[in-house]
Chains A and B, each alone.
Chain A
């Protein structure tokens, strides 16, 4: 231990530290350094993200999904931006749970959805904006608090578009047109503010009159349905009666036609018979007449139950004759 001359006289009692072997300490330090180096040199970017790399604060590159290297110890810093994910902002309501069935609440969001229409009426409009980040650089470095900004922009644009329409347009016919227009104008505003956002779709959800006037809007719907009902009833009655009457009319006409045919043909037949008989009659009028007379009598007389033959000289017989005999029968005088 003691080598040189001076050192031996001054004897200071030394506290003995537990001595580590130097190479162990060195090894541990080296291992820690290497670990730190590795940890800060590698980073991964998820499939839906892109990494924006800053070297000492300056933008140098963006990196695609996968495992990447960077300069260690914070020389290069990476900010990840989810550019593939479709992002969504809800206005006038809030999705509270997406398990199994989505649940919404509108509480506290009324201030977003109440707005004025162009005819100075009020409407409650709820909508959703779906968007993506297409320019991560702009998204990070051009606008502070992009999400809040984007929400404000969206509210302003929707109110502007709604403000140019009547309450009826807003509630009924104009919905798609409003959504399309909002999308366009919002996109334009996104460009102007250099947000790096692309608006994918604007969807109007519930568009309603304010609660206080809802009953009267329902009344209009009801009255409208009532009108349709009354008209339909009258129409169905019309349809029940008129086609049938048409059929009956046709029937009457057809029947008349039938009568006409019958009448004319009968007349023709009768005439033809007469003419034929007359031709023959002319040849021997006297005897023909007599023959027809007698033949007729021959047919008639057997039918007649009571026959009274009186002499031509007898007068005033009729008052005496009992025309209703007790016993019916062919009694010959």
Chain B
């Protein structure tokens, strides 16, 4: 009696487990009966039921799923070899179609590899390298370098975003009947291949050397200019001062002359008196203890000596 009860309970449990299932939140389910899909896919989460044993569940993710491109060495239109690493995000929008066409995620990944790698390769071969790097035709902001030393940004016709969208659009049309939607394709990394890298480094080094040379010669030129300016300024200041001083002195001399003349040149008498006075003054200044004075008795002074 007890054994029967246990057996029945276990059977019931197995049937229940085969009938009811929980669909977790980011999931969706396709139900197949003997390998053939039946009914609509279940996309709402919750507790669900199916016919036990003969119906099977195929669970899929509802979220955006990852796709990472292999890092590929590809030539651009201008024959430059670059490493390109892309990534994409996609999701299963029609689980039934997805199940029929691709079976599972592994199938989807290989199909996406074919499509996205192919489209990437096409797009890159169709464009010059600069089109893949730049995205707008913005003018660079200039730093402290002379404008001639700034590297220029080559103008573009399409740009990174457009090429990306080109790939996305092409891939989307090719995946439209697979029950999936590609949300976005991005260039994650683009880099030169090793040999090109060396060349680029050499070019960059040469560019920097040129800039350094310019700085040095600028420094020398500017310092010479300042020294020259210094010499000029010095000469100007000194000569101007000389001119001013001489002018002042000359004017003062002239003034003194005219003052003297006005005083002494009044009449014959005044001229005579001036001469006399000045002579006396000079006698007084020039005759000293070293002087030998020889005077004759003819003179005014010693004439009384004779008498």
Contact with A along B56-96 (1 / 0, CB 8 A): 00000111111010000000000000000001010000000
Residue pair B293, A145 in contact (C-beta under 8 Å): no
A25 in contact (CB, < 8 A): no
Inter-chain contact A57/B259, CB cutoff 8 Å: no
Closest to A233 in B: B223
Q: How far is the CA of A256 from the CA of B244 in the complex (A)?
A: 8
Docked Cα-Cα span, A306 to B292, in Å, equals 5
Given contacts A252-B242, A268-B259, A309-B305, contact A122 B200 (CB under 8 A): yes
Inter-chain contact A226/B150, CB cutoff 8 Å: no
Contacts of A144 in B (CB 8 A): 26, 61, 63-66
Scan B269-307; emit 1 where CB is below 8 A from any A CB, else 0: 110011011001001100111111111111011100110
Given contacts A169-B143, A259-B248, A303-B289, contact A296 B284 (CB under 8 A): yes
- Would you call A271 and B188 a contact (CB within 8 A)? no
Interface size classification for chain B: 35 or more
Is B293 within 8 A of A234, CB to CB? Answer: no
A141 and B134 contacting across the interface, CB-CB below 8 Å: no
Q: Which residue of A lies closest to B294 (CB)?
A: A308
B15 on the A face (CB < 8 A): no
- Of A9-17, A64-72, A237-245, which binds chain B? A237-245
Quick check: is A155 within 8 A (CB to CB) of the other chain? yes
A230 to B225: give the CA distance in the assembly, Å. Answer: 11
Chain B binder among A35-43, A98-106, A198-206, A278-286: A278-286
Contacts A231-B223, A310-B295 given; indicate if A213 touches B201 (C-beta within 8 A). Answer: yes
Q: Say yes or no: is A111 at the interface (Cβ < 8 Å to chain B).
A: yes
Q: Contact check, A271 vs B260: say whether CB atoms are below 8 A apart.
A: yes
Q: Can you list 24 residue pairs at the A/B interface with Cβ under 8 Å?
A: A57-B47, A59-B25, A119-B153, A122-B192, A122-B197, A164-B135, A164-B138, A167-B204, A169-B140, A212-B201, A219-B212, A226-B215, A227-B219, A238-B230, A246-B237, A250-B241, A257-B248, A261-B252, A267-B257, A293-B300, A296-B280, A308-B293, A310-B297, A312-B297
The answer to whether B45 touches A216, judged by C-beta atoms less than 8 angstroms apart, is no
Tell whether A242 pairs with B233 under 8 Å between CB atoms, given A155-B188, A220-B211: yes
Taking a contact as CB atoms under 8 Å apart, the answer to whether B238 and A304 are in contact is no
B177 within 8 Å of A (CB atoms): no
CA A272 – CA B150 in complex, angstroms? 80
Is A153 part of the binding interface, using a Cβ–Cβ cutoff of 8 Å?
yes
Contact among B46, B61, B187 for A56, CB-based, below 8 A: B46
Chain A positions within 8 Å of B244 at CB level: 252-253, 256
Chain A residues 280 to 331 lying within 8 A of chain B, measured CB to CB, are 281-282, 285, 289-290, 292-294, 296-297, 299-301, 303-312, 314, 317-318, 321, 323
A194 interfacial by beta-carbon distance below 8 Å: yes
Contact digits for A139-176, partner B, Cβ 8 Å, 1 yes 0 no: 01111110011001101100110011111110011100
Q: Quick check: is B3 within 8 A (CB to CB) of the other chain?
A: no
B252 touches A264 (CB 8 A): yes
Which residues on A sit within 8 Å (CB–CB) of B104? none
**CB-based nearest A residue for B44:** A58
Cα(A215)–Cα(B202), bound, Å: 12
In the docked arrangement, what's the CA distance between A56 and B20, Å? 11
CA distance A184 to B215 in the complex (A): 37
Find chain A residues with CB under 8 A from B24 CB: 54, 57
Is there contact, CB below 8 Å, between A156 and B187?
Answer: yes
Closest 6 CB pairs of A and B: A227-B219, A260-B252, A249-B241, A271-B263, A256-B245, A267-B256
Closest to A288 in B: B273
CB neighbours of A194 from chain B (8 A): 64
> Would you call B289 and A304 a contact (CB within 8 A)?
yes
Task: Kindly identify which residue among B145, B153, B255 contacts A267, using a CB–CB cutoff of 8 Å.
Answer: B255
Decide if A82 is an interface residue (CB 8 Å cutoff): no
Residue on B nearest A305 in the bound complex, by CB:
B289
A residues near B, CB below 8 A?
Answer: 54, 56-59, 111-112, 114-122, 140-145, 148-149, 152-153, 155-156, 159-160, 163-169, 172-174, 177, 189, 192-194, 209-210, 212-213, 215-217, 219-220, 222-224, 226-231, 233-235, 237-238, 241-242, 245-246, 248-250, 252-253, 255-257, 259-261, 263-264, 266-268, 270-272, 274-275, 277-278, 281-282, 285, 289-290, 292-294, 296-297, 299-301, 303-312, 314, 317-318, 321, 323
B301 contacts across to A, CB distance below 8 A: 293-294, 297
Using A148-B66, A271-B260, A278-B273 as known contacts, say yes or no to A155 and B293 having CB atoms under 8 A apart.
Answer: no
What residues on A are CB-neighbors of B144 within 8 Å?
A: 172, 224
Q: Are B215 and A227 in contact (CB under 8 A)?
A: yes
Q: In the complex, A237→B287 CA distance in Å?
A: 55
Are B23 and A57 neighbours in the complex by a CB distance under 8 Å?
yes
Q: Is B110 interfacial (CB 8 A cutoff)?
A: no
- Smallest Cβ distance from A176 to chain B, in angstroms? 11
CA gap between A127 and B270 in the complex, in Å? 103
**Minimal beta-carbon separation of A243 from chain B (angstroms):** 10
Most buried by B among A119, A122, A277: A119
Bound form: Cα–Cα A155–B190 in Å: 11
- Identify the interface centre among B266, B291, B292: most chain A CB within 10 Å of its CB: B292
Nearest B residue to A162, CB-CB: B133
Whether B212 and A216, one on each chain, are in contact in the complex, defined by CB atoms closer than 8 angstroms, is yes
Q: Nearest Cβ in chain A — how far from B137, in angstroms?
A: 9
B214 neighbours in A (Cβ, 8 Å)? 223
User: Does chain A have a CB within 8 A of B124?
Assistant: no
A135 to B172, alpha carbons, bound, how many Å? Answer: 29
